[in-house]
Amino acid sequence: MAENKKIAINTSKGAIIVELDFESAPITAKNFADYVREGFFDGTIFHRVIAGFMIQGGGMKPDMKEKSNKAPIKLESKNGLKNNRGTLAMARTNVPDSATSQFFINLADNAFLNYSGPGNPGYAVFGKVVEGLDVVDAIAAVKTGRHGYHSDVPLETVLIESIVFAD
């Protein structure tokens, strides 16, 4: 496949290099790559940080207003990939097929986020950090608080300056 597999998430804390898995999660990886091509993520923030769990970004501006995104995609959580430390997965609502642009990076092995049947549809992993786990950990270490009805919001803005193809 001619798809670019590596992306650089350039943040105010440094760069995170992620390899997308187009074989195991073709719909999800393509959706993410399409957002990258459009420059959608540039200027968004990591808006939810829970130490020991995950860091989430890809849909909010620094003022905590949500960006408009594309239609939701089909959940690909039965792809054999696990929500282990350093993996990239799609955030979604309680509706399984609701992921759009928001993603998260697992800070620990979060087995409870894996598909385990219709009662627990899980979260689709579609890539993994190959460089910059120290940057992920630096983001995880920021102090958090509330912003409106949002909790676990970094008190210092963690900007996603850009997400670009790295290969």
User: Which residue matches tokens 């999660």?
Assistant: 25
**Residue 151 burial (CB < 10 Å; 0-12/13-18/19+)?**
exposed
pLDDT at residue 25 tops 90: yes
Which ranges constitute the DSSP H helices of 3-159?
26-38, 133-140
Tell me the average pLDDT across 5-22.
Answer: 97
- Res. 44: pLDDT tops 70: yes
User: How far apart are the C-alpha atoms of 124 and 59, rounded to whole Å?
Assistant: 17
Query: pLDDT (tens digit, 9 = 90+) per residue, 123-152?
Result: 999 999 999 999 999 999 999 999 999 999
Would you report the helix, strand and coil content of the chain in percent, each value rounded to 5? 15, 35, 50
Run of H or E residues at 145:
strand 144-147
Q: Which CATH number fits domain 6-165: 2.40.100.10, 3.30.1050.10, 3.90.700.10, 3.30.300.30?
A: 2.40.100.10
pLDDT exceeds cutoff 60 at 74 = yes
Structure tokens belonging to residue 21: 């898995």
Summarize the confidence of residues 8-17 as an average pLDDT.
Answer: 98
- Whether the pTM exceeds 0.85: the reply is yes
